[in-house]
């Protein structure tokens, strides 16, 4: 009889097959967000992406998932319950009534044969085994015959060029050579997000994609389920980019529409003028600045700013806000919200992650009726977060060293930023938003 850990691992494998997303060890945070939505859509039960990450071992958690979580996971896969899943997958339990057998009949590893069949044909079992062996042998021969040739990364070429050096939106032309692919089509993936994939013919050599947000991306060429080539792609903004995040295309604003009177801000009137709906659910307002900040890294810097969420109507009562310090291949995310909503927060510091559902993040519940001062300091791969000049949170795990390439602010509804500073002794960047120049950068 197997233990629950065995069946949890089996469940993960079945999810890899059911989603078609491949090895779950490569799944990203966004994959778990999407999976959470798919599970709720199919089962009617909400499992947060953080809960799913705990089950998959992406977030440290020493206890086994509870029965409610396990029931929901296997119901997504088509089973009645966790008990039924184990019964039907070799637990030595009982045959479910839905299979047409009595729930009182035990399973012992093989289906019991009526006694008269055993006596009439003592060679039946041997015949069945011989037939099975023959079928397996034929299957192996067929598989070998049809199996595509081995894929070598050296057989493929993949590169790209940006249409404009800075600014959004930005089209990127991908050049590729995949003529040696054993498949008719290959996949170009824009970034870490596997949902931004497009199939292209192996016999073509160019494909153009549009990037709507500035960031550091890793573009990938995928053959079958294997990444055969990957390269870095930095999409820069032209100074500060004010926008409303929505699919498929964000709503962009000009810099001088948002930067005035010593702050960057968008009013509700400005949003309504561009037909941005604030009810029932408001989109996020984004202020992004992705550029070359010089030699400044996530393990040694000081970041200072002051922010305010300016909207608290209807479903935006929690005033969810986040400050992102973007790095190559990772990020630092500092959350803020109204005091009663801290359960909804997530804090990210390169390789460190904390959910408000399982870690006390109440210090990040703030009063947005006035400016909130935020300071982040990292030194010797450790970090401290200060709010209104008080140290409120420490990250004592070793932080990944990664080059800082951008600063993002997101506000549920809308919000304002008063100033921003980023420094490490050798590099100093600051912007007091007195003009739309994008701030000043000095390097010693």
Q: What is the CATH number of the domain that holds 316?
A: 2.60.120.200
Nearest to 296 by CA among 216, 402, 398: 402
Which of 235, 257, 289 is at the close of a domain? 235
Residue 46 lies in a domain: yes
Number of domains into which the chain is organized? 4
Q: Which residues pair with 206 in a beta bridge?
A: 175
Same domain membership, residue 402 and residue 334: yes
Q: How long a stretch of residues is the chain?
A: 444
Q: Could you list the residue range(s) of the whole structural domain that residue 62 is in?
A: 4-99
Is residue 222 located within the same domain as residue 255?
Answer: no
- Same domain for 271 and 326: yes
Map residue 160 onto helix, strand or coil.
strand
**Would the pTM count as exceeding 0.85?**
no
The answer to whether residue 107 is domain-embedded is no
Backbone φ, ψ for residue 199 (5° rounding): -85, 135
Q: Is residue 304 part of a domain?
A: yes
Quickly count helices (H) and strands (E) in the chain: 9, 25
Give a yes or no: residue 105 inside a domain. no
Q: Which residue has 């596997």 as its token pair? A: 194
Whether residues 379 and 296 share a domain: the answer is: yes
93 and 131 together in one domain: no
Q: Are residues 265 and 409 in the same domain?
A: yes
Last residue of a domain, one of 235, 252, 275: 235
Residue 290 inside a domain? The answer is yes
- Clarify whether residues 435 and 369 are in a common domain: yes
DSSP string across 194-253:
TTSEEEEETT--EEEEEE-S-EEEEEEEEETTEEEEEEEEEEB-SS-EEEEE-SSS-EE-
Q: What is the mean pLDDT of each run of 10 residues along the chain (444 residues)?
A: 79 86 84 87 83 84 80 89 84 35 30 31 43 50 49 88 93 96 94 84 96 93 90 94 93 96 96 93 95 95 98 94 94 95 90 87 96 96 96 93 96 97 94 93 90
- Which CATH number belongs to the domain containing residue 183 in this structure? 2.60.40
Same domain, yes or no, for 91 and 202?
A: no
Q: Residue 104 falls within a domain, yes or no? A: no
Instruction: Judge if 30 and 78 occupy the same domain.
Output: yes
CB 154, CB 175: distance < 8 Å: no
Residue 94 in domain: yes
Instruction: Write down the pLDDT at residue 153.
Output: 80
Q: Two tokens at 314? A: 């209807």
Residue 108 resides in a domain? no
* Domain identity same for 306 and 411: yes
**pLDDT at residue 207 in the model:** 97
Q: Out of 220, 235, 250, pick the residue that ends a domain.
A: 235
Task: Please tell me the predicted confidence (pLDDT) of residue 262.
Answer: 95
pLDDT of residue 150: 60
Regarding whether 164 and 16 lie in a shared domain, the answer is: no
My answer on whether 306 and 425 are in the same domain is: yes
Q: Look at the block and give the residue holding tokens 């970034």.
A: 191
What pLDDT score was predicted for residue 113? 31
Q: Report the alpha-carbon distance of residue 441 to residue 185 in Å, rounded.
A: 45
């Amino acid at each position: 009889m197997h233990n629950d850990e065995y069946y949890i691992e089996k469940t993960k494998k079945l999810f890899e097959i059911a989603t078609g997303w491949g090895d779950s060890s490569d799944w990203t945070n966004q994959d778990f967000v999407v999976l959470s939505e798919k599970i709720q859509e199919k089962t009617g039960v909400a499992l947060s992406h953080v809960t799913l990450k705990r089950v998959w071992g992406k977030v440290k958690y020493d206890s086994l998932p509870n029965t409610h979580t396990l029931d929901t996971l296997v119901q997504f896969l088509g089973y009645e319950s966790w008990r039924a899943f184990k019964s039907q997958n070799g637990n030595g339990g009982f045959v479910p009534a839905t299979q047409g057998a009595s729930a009182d009949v035990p399973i012992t590893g093989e289906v019991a044969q009526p006694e008269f069949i055993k006596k009439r044909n003592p060679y039946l079992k041997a015949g069945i085994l011989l037939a099975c062996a023959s079928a397996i042998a034929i299957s192996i021969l067929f598989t070998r015959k049809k199996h595509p040739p081995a894929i070598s990364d050296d057989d493929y070429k993949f590169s790209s060029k940006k249409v404009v050096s800075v600014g959004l939106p930005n089209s990127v032309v991908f050049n590729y050579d995949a003529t040696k692919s054993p498949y008719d089509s290959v996949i170009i993936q824009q970034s870490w997000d596997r949902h931004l994939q497009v199939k292209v013919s192996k016999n073509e050599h160019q494909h153009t994609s549009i990037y709507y947000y500035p960031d550091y991306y890793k573009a990938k060429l995928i053959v079958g389920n294997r990444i055969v080539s990957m390269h870095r792609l930095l999409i820069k903004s032209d100074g500060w980019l004010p926008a409303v995040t929505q699919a498929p295309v964000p709503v962009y604003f000009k810099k001088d529409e948002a930067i005035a009177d010593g702050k960057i801000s968008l009013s509700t009137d400005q949003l309504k003028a561009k037909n941005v709906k604030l009810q029932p659910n408001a989109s996020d307002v984004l202020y992004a600045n992705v550029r070359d900040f010089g030699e400044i890294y996530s393990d040694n810097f000081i970041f200072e700013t002051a922010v305010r969420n300016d909207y608290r109507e209807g479903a935006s009562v929690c005033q969810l806000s986040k400050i992102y310090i973007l790095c190559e291949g990772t990020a630092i995310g500092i959350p803020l919200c109204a005091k009663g909503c801290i359960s909804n927060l997530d804090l990210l510091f390169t390789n460190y992650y904390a959910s408000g559902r399982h870690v006390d993040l109440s210090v990040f519940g703030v009063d947005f009726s006035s400016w909130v001062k935020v300071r982040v300091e990292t030194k010797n791969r450790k970090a401290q977060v200060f709010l209104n000049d008080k140290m409120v949170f420490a990250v004592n795990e070793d932080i990944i060293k990664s080059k800082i390439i951008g600063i993002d602010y997101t506000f549920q509804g809308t919000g304002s930023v008063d100033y921003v500073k980023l420094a490490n002794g050798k590099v100093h960047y600051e912007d007091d938003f007195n003009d739309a120049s994008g701030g000043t950068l000095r390097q010693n």
